[in-house]
A and B are shown apart, each in its own frame.
Chain A
Amino acid sequence: MFLKIGIVLVGLLSVTPIMLFVERRGSALLQNRLGPNRFGPQGLLQSVLDVLKFIFKEDRAPGHVNKFYFSLAPLVVVVPALMTFAVIPFAGNDFIIANLDVGILYCFSIASLGVYGIIMAGWASNNKYSLLGSLRSSAQMISYELTLGLSIVGLIMIFQSVKLGDMVSAQGETLFSIGGIDVPKWGIFLQPVGFILFLVSSFAETNRLPFDLPEGEAELIAGYHLEYGSMRFALFMLAEFVSMTVASALLSTLFFGGWQYLPGFSWIAHLFSDGNIAVTYLVSTLLHGISFVIKIASFMWFFVWVRWTLPRFRFDQLMNFGWKVLLPLALLNVFVTGLLIYLGVL
């Protein structure tokens, strides 16, 4: 239990420096620049410097803020972001911190707590831009949570379970075979529309571009974390990257088979299975973990890639898109999935 918590916590916390590097260097490369490449090979140690800078900066609260909520807000943002990972199996179904019966519902309920931290930060900062940013974030997160929830209803109907472990196990089966290549029963093949809806609304939930209206540096300076500096600001950043990781983990768990092997991995596992149960178990667990990490990493890169490609939405466009496009599509998706299940196709 504690081992699993340790693995997940270390993994999630080390995501931040890695993503700091990927974000800076990736953004530079996508924009024909080079990015920080001086400290360490290819600038790999740059994020160490970034973290050191955050630690040694003066932890200062401006005079006009509400001190209690001001210092509470970063924690309220970070803790739910970290907690969400508890129900996600990361290397085989044994490796799950809490195998709750509510599963995915727990994820959504905890993830939506994060918005309280953002509202708290905006309100306690006593600054009009912060408040506007947090107002936007509350409106945005509430409207996109609907789509987020509805987009996986189809999957729940197909897999007959809300437990993520069951869902991943079910995705290990073969959907159909073409010429010897088995197409696995991954969520994306069963629910392509649901996948796109979930992807878009998870972008909105993690406040990433093109949905980063709460931060919107062009019009709101920095939004809800405007008055924050040093480690408190770093906590907001950590929360953003952790919720990105959780969103990527959910995307790969629900739609890309979670810890199920990537194509080719079962062959590697077959090489090492020499009858010794312990070795086989160890190798398969390791390969499951690596598959999961690779899936998460590619989604993380996708997040960065999209961030440096798309411009931000206008607020009315955001609301129109959420309520008039995504929500009806999600409802339609649920209806069609139900119809197909009733007809016995799925």
Chain B
Amino acid sequence: MTSGLDITGLCKSFGGIIVANNIDFTLRPGDRKALIGPNGAGKTTFANLITGFLAPSAGTLHLDGRNIINLKEAKRVKAGIAKTFQITTLFKRMSVRENIRLAILEREGKSFRWFAKDNGYSDIEEEIEQLLEQFSLQSSAADEVHELAYGRQRLVEMALTLALKPRILILDEPSAGVPASDSHIITDAIERLPEDLSVLIIEHDMNLVFKVARKIVVLVNGAILTEGTPGEIAGNQQVRDLYLGARHEH
């Protein structure tokens, strides 16, 4: 059995518009892959096809050899695929601690319990503290999320997602909206992710991509143009012309 994510022939179209065109893609344990491409290339759509938010028109999707193409979004999370959103999506009127607690309770299958206190599980509370420490969020633990700066909200979202103990982690533009002065916080957080976790980063910030990715996949018009190491991608004339070149022109 092959570990990790195996995608073959993934297609998606909205009416006549093709947004994912016969994509073959793999993500192995410990991978750090970045998905780049110009605006409208279909990066977020591709992520949504993996998470189950969108249903593909064709193709297969295997996780650790198991076909999960027919699983709904919530079931894919249970199977081990988790995602952070392009625009931070959190429980904003809840405290940071409650956000993480909710994710762990769900992961542990305890979120349907009616007669226990939500903070009554000491093992879960300890795990929350560890995650708060990992993302340097201890001082904000009791604050409601909407009270935090956007950069810290991004960290909360990463902590919450990691609380699900995923095997596949998709970070959709983790530095979007974060001031340049704070982007190192996100980079540091990504570098501290567990080594065996498979990470797919969708990102526009090339500094971040070249810093954390070991492989880069270039997506153009819903199809994979090329894949390679950061050095190979940086030296690829086609990529420079089609993507990096186009960026420089702006």
Chains A and B bind each other:
no
A interface with B by C-beta (< 8 Å)? none
B interface with A by C-beta (< 8 Å)? none
